[in-house]
Amino acid sequence: MAAERKYPLHFTELDELYEQAGVPLEKRIPWFDRNATVVAQRDDAQNRVIALEVATGAYDEAIQMMTGRRFAVAEGANLNISEHWTDGHILRRRNRYRRQMSKCTRDSARRPPAHSPGTNSIADRSPAA
């Protein structure tokens, strides 16, 4: 039986229980998404969502949630927004770097070596007479 009124603090507390019980992150995120307007009313509930987004690699979504919002430290003892902000940015950059390095590695594997015959390198050119 669903309650008529939803309270943001209940989402925070229930997610803490889910975390302790080992409920997978992928099952917890949709629950928050379905109740986003209620969760957004309280900083500690929003903090839980941001932590889940960072933990699952949804860095852009987490950073977007933190951007432009002022979090009240008094609202929730475990607000660690600065950690989420730092982790989100560092991990997002790391993923971009890895993708770029992977692309460079694939591209360099397709290119012939720089000084192999037939690559129009300096070694292939005949000396000027």
- Whether 97 maps to a domain, the answer reads yes
- Whether 116 maps to a domain, the answer reads no
- Whether 21 maps to a domain, the answer reads yes
- Whether 45 maps to a domain, the answer reads yes
pLDDT at position 5 is: 84
- Whether 100 maps to a domain, the answer reads yes
pLDDT at position 1 is: 44
- Percentage, residues of the chain above pLDDT 90: 47
User: Alpha-carbon distance 101 to 4, whole Å?
Assistant: 51
- Whether 84 maps to a domain, the answer reads yes
Structural domain including 90 reads: 8-108
- What pLDDT digit, counting tens, does each position of 24-40 carry? 999 999 999 999 999 99
- What pLDDT digit, counting tens, does each position of 88-124 carry? 999 999 998 998 888 887 777 666 666 555 555 555 5
Domains in the chain, number: 1
- How far CA 117 is from CA of 96, 106, 110, 123, in Å, comes to 35, 22, 16, 8
